[in-house]
Structure 1
Amino acid sequence: MLSILLRAELRIPVIANGNIQYLADVIRCFSETNANAVMSAEGHLHNPAIFVGSQPSVYSMCLEYLECAKTYPTNISIVRGHVFKLSHHALNEHPSFRQLIGLAQDIDELSDVIHQMQKTCSHCSINRDISLQYPHWICQPYERPKSEHSTAADRQSGAVPGNTSELSCTPKDLLSRKLILQEERRSRRDAKQNAKAAKRVAAKSKNSLCNRCQSNLRGVQCPSMACRSCCWMLDPERVSQCAAHLHDKRRRICEK
């Protein structure tokens, strides 16, 4: 009632927000607040089709989002974060894909992981988490575990919790889950660092050492298969016209 009175007094558009998880929440919010618009944060991140009223598959939403990311490029870490949000429940069922998504370095690699996860989930028929309203491969909201303080407040106020399976967990269970998630993040970070180190080693092995000094990396396009310094020592007149080591400054010196 208070929100309706405030809306009547204000001369600016009013946007309502808070615990919007399904389209039914949007409709109820309009009726109870008389707001001009309703927005969603977490619910929209887990189900981009929330305002359409549909529950699409995680994979269709992920692949559609990746196509948008190709059209409007951004940092791969941001893209990866959105994929984690969209596939939260599916990753809880198949945690092995969490590390693959964390190691993906571009959109094509992310698409490959999503296709692999889609193929794996095609053989699933039930959820291990019985608290989920839909199968884990369907976009649906995620509810954060409530603290003991908020749980006690709900009991005193007579609030009826919705999908709150975590409320039945003991503090020891919640601590164990937190430690497991921390360990998973640590292992993903270590795996990512190892993967980057392996790429550096592979890149160095492809570019063998200079044939003359055997200490610096040779130029890939150098006909003498030498590094920059040795290339100029072997061919000071630049007869070979080495494209790898013929820079503007050197070219001016050569012309003089």
Structure 2
Amino acid sequence: MPKLQGFEFWSHTLGGARHVVAPMVDQSELAWRLLSRRHGAQLCYTPMLHAQVFVRDANYRKENLYCEVCPEDRPLIVQFCANDPEVFVQAALLAQDYCDAIDLNLGCPQMIAKRGHYGAFLQEEWDLLQRMIMLAHEKLSVPVTCKIRVFPEIDKTVRYAQMLENAGCQLLTVHGRTKEQKGPLSGTASWEHIKAVRKAVGIPVFANGNIQCLQDVEQCIQDTGVQGVMSAEGNLYNPALFEGRSPAVWELAEEYLDIVRQHPCPLSYVRAHLFKLWHHTLQVHQQLREELAKVKTLEGVTAVSQALKLRCQEDISRQQEETRPAGNLPSFHWICQPYVRPREGSKENGGCSKRALEEEEGSTDGLSKNKQKKQLRNPGKTFDPSLKPKYAKCDQCGNPKVSWCWWSTQRPRTSLKFVPCHGLLFKTKLEKSLAWKGTQPGLQEPQQVGPGAPGGFSEVMGSALA
């Protein structure tokens, strides 16, 4: 059967999916996908998988995709991050029998993506992206799709999308934010960019961004003309979003935990999901937050979730009819509802904005979380280079130099191997071996061998280089 493309692929293989769960690292695992499908999701993506690791590590493939066959988990798109056409295609060939399409991640804005040179940090390298998509389109038996972020300029975003379409992309997901818009700096996604892309390309388009409820989904489709809408954070805080429901948190938490027992996943994934599902309740019953963070078993996580349910039921019994939700919440804390990020500089955010991308890479204007933790343990610690003591360096070994540095003497360097001024002691493995054998009674001294003799230098080096 020939490979379906474009709208045929979307309508037949994907069943005309309109409600889509986004690829989320450590969060869109099988158990969560099954929960989302039970509550209105029509298409799911795997978490972003690293193509190079997927190719070389059989355990990684087994843990992330080669698990037990689950007919409920279709249609499914596997997403990879990659920056090499050959590696991307090799990974895709290993995955294509377990999914309905392969997606190339061009939208991840995180620092790990910058360091690894993938995701949104490839969006300026159009020649490379063309080669990756063209090779995948040629070699794979399933369609190749892309998830992108926008440029600040609408016309450049449109040309970017058209380039990917011409290279062989069969479906495009457009996140209406730039790669700089993340965390507290996320802001509002631009549906104008998404609308312009949809009008300019001849393949199906999914929109991503600004989705907190079913009304947002419908409004997005109406305003942009896209074929489907993808949700990430909205889905994490309310997996029933696509049903248009906002059930009690414990209803979905208990259902998710039941699925996890059938389809196990790392406990860190489960804990992260419950932190989001119970997010608003944990602001009220903060003593249970630490308990949820510390539990080491699925039974322990279940017990904390049950304790949160009991606290919520006590709150409901004390609630009076005229009582309004605390803070700015649209519903009471025990109801599944979106989390709205505080705006940059708002009082809720402490008047602080997240450090810019350059500052994350080493600026001293702000301290990283790790440095803040170190400072809590040692209040007198400073990270200002100008306040650190200066030491003269030894010209020979580079260590801090003192007045009686051994290297400054006229002794031949081969006569001693102990450098007392730097506290360094060098010994070869052979010297250590001979010293040890000297303490063991009954062991013979090793025979001396010449460079050309069997077992000599030439043979040893040859085996080391083989």
The TM-score, its normalising length taken from structure 2, stands at 0.32
How far the C-alpha of 1:2 sits from its partner, in A, is 6.1
CA contact (8 A) 2:325 2:331 kept: no
How far the C-alpha of 1:61 sits from its partner, in A, is 1.0
Whether 1:147 aligns to 2:355 is no
Q: Does the residue aligned with 1:16 lie in a helix, a strand or coil? A: strand
How far the C-alpha of 1:60 sits from its partner, in A, is 1.0
How far the C-alpha of 1:92 sits from its partner, in A, is 0.4
How far the C-alpha of 1:8 sits from its partner, in A, is 3.5
Q: Does the residue aligned with 2:299 lie in a helix, a strand or coil? A: helix
How far the C-alpha of 1:22 sits from its partner, in A, is 0.7
Identify which of 135, 138, 160 aligns with 2:335: 138
Per-residue CA distance 1:162-188 (angstroms, 9 max, x = gap): xxxxx454846999xxxxxx8xxx8xx
Per-residue CA distance 1:57-111 (angstroms, 9 max, x = gap): 1111111111111111111111111110110001001011111111222222211
Q: Does the residue aligned with 2:243 lie in a helix, a strand or coil? A: coil
Identify which of 188, 205, 218 aligns with 1:27: 218
Structure 1 pair 173–131 and aligned structure 2 pair: CA distance change class (3 A) = farther
Gaps of 5+ in 1: 149-166, 176-181, 187-256
* 1:139 partner letter: C
Gaps of 5+ in 2: 1-191, 355-368, 374-466
Name the structure where helix makes up a greater proportion of residues: 1
Alignment partner, residue 122 of structure 1: 313
Decide which moves more: 46-55 or 106-115.
Answer: 106-115
Per-residue CA distance 1:194-237 (angstroms, 9 max, x = gap): xxxxxxxxxxxxxxxxxxxxxxxxxxxxxxxxxxxxxxxxxxxx
Q: State the distance in 2 between where 1:170 and 1:83 align.
A: 23
Q: State the distance in 1 between where 2:273 and 2:257 align.
A: 10
Alignment partner, residue 296 of structure 2: 105
CA contact (8 A) 1:93 1:128 kept: no
Structure 1 pair 116–4 and aligned structure 2 pair: CA distance change class (3 A) = closer
Q: CA RMSD in A?
A: 2.5
Q: State the distance in 2 between where 1:53 and 1:128 align.
A: 20
* 1:115 partner letter: Q
Identify which of 229, 236, 257 aligns with 1:38: 229
Name the structure where strand makes up a greater proportion of residues: 2
How far the C-alpha of 1:130 sits from its partner, in A, is 2.3
Alignment partner, residue 246 of structure 1: none
* 2:326 partner letter: D
CA contact (8 A) 2:236 2:273 kept: yes
Decide which moves more: 137-146 or 1-10.
Answer: 1-10
Decide which moves more: 50-59 or 124-133.
Answer: 124-133
Q: Does the residue aligned with 1:89 lie in a helix, a strand or coil? A: helix
Q: Count matched residues.
A: 159
Per-residue CA distance 1:20-56 (angstroms, 9 max, x = gap): 0011100000000110110111111000000000001
Q: State the distance in 2 between where 1:112 and 1:127 align.
A: 29
Decide which moves more: 135-144 or 114-123.
Answer: 114-123
Q: Which has the higher contact order (CA 8 A, sep 6+)?
A: 1
Q: State the distance in 2 between where 1:82 and 1:170 align.
A: 23
* 1:107 partner letter: L
Whether 1:82 aligns to 2:279 is no
Q: State the distance in 2 between where 1:174 and 1:138 align.
A: 29
Structure 1 pair 173–2 and aligned structure 2 pair: CA distance change class (3 A) = closer
Structure 1 pair 94–16 and aligned structure 2 pair: CA distance change class (3 A) = same
